[in-house]
Structure 1
Amino acid sequence: MSHYLVELYTPNAAWHALPVAQRQQFLGHIGSALAQLSHLGVEVLSLAETAPGIDQGSAHRFLGIWRFPTEVARDALLDGIQASGWYGYFDHVNAASSTGSADSHLAALAAA
C-alpha cells in the first residue's frame, strides 16, 4: 500500500530576510538531501507553484506531492524537513494518507 504526503507552503518573513547567498546555500542542502531519498523508494509526484485563481484555492504559493512505499519512508522525509530548519522559513501545512478509493472515501464522508 502506498502512502502520500501533500505539503503546502509559502515563504515567510524569515526567508525574505535571508540574503540570496544564504537562500541558495540552504536550498543546495535541501537538493542534496532530496537526491538521497530515492533509496527509500520516495517518489516526487510534483514540486511546483500552486495555480492561482482556482475555485477555493489555497493561499499557499507552493506545493509538494510525494508517494512512499511505507510510513517509515514518509516519516524519514518529514524528519528531514524538520531537521533542515525548513519550517522556520516557510508557513507550512502537511496532509498525509495511505492509498484510498472513491467508495471508501465516500463511506468515510458519510460517517463523518
Structure 2
Amino acid sequence: MPHYLAELYSPKQTWLNLTAAERQQFLEEVGAAMPALAALGVDAISLGQVDQTRLHTSEHQFYAIWRCTDDQALEALIGGIAQSGWHDYFDTINAGGEGCDFGQHLTQLINA
C-alpha cells in the first residue's frame, strides 16, 4: 500500500547565513541522493512555495509531497532527509503514513 509524506519547511537563520555557493553545494548533495531514493520507491509528487494567500495556510514557506511504495521507503526518505543535515537548515514539519481513499478516511475520522 502506498505511503505518503507531506513536508512543510522554512529556512532557518543557519541557511540564510550560507553563501549562495554553500547553498548550491548542499543542494547538489541532496540531489545526488535522489536516484537511490527513487530506486527504493520514493517519488516526489510536487514541491514548491506555499501560497500564503490561501485560507488557513501554514506559515511555512515551502512544501513537498512525496509518494513511497511502502513503509520502508517512507522510513528511508525520512531518514535520508535527516541524515543530509536538512533539519540544520530548515524548520520542518512532517506528516506521513499509509494512504487510503476518501471513504476509508471518513471512517478514520469517525473513529477518531
TM-score (norm 1): 0.94
Classify the secondary structure of the residue corresponding to 2:100.
Answer: coil
Whether 1:73 aligns to 2:112 is no
RMSD: 1.1
Classify the secondary structure of the residue corresponding to 1:100.
Answer: coil
Classify the secondary structure of the residue corresponding to 2:33.
Answer: helix
Q: State the Cα deviation string for residues 58-109 of structure 1 (Å, max 9, x = none).
A: 1111111011111111111111111111001001000002121222212222
**Identity across the alignment (%):** 42
Quote the Cα distance in structure 1 between the aligned partners of 2:8 and 2:26: 19
Partner of 1:7: 7
> Which portions of structure 1, spanning 4 or more consecutive aligned residues, are displaced by more than 4 angstroms?
none
Whether 1:98 aligns to 2:91 is no
Quote the Cα distance in structure 1 between the aligned partners of 2:57 and 2:45: 19
Question: Shift in Å at residue 111 of structure 1?
Answer: 2.4
Quote the Cα distance in structure 1 between the aligned partners of 2:64 and 2:35: 15
Aligned pairs for 1:31-46 within 5 A: 31-46=31-46
Number of matched pairs: 112
Partner of 2:29: 29
* AA matched with 2:78: L
Where structure 1 has 5 or more consecutive residues not aligned to the other structure, the ranges are: none
TM-score (norm 2): 0.94
Partner of 1:84: 84
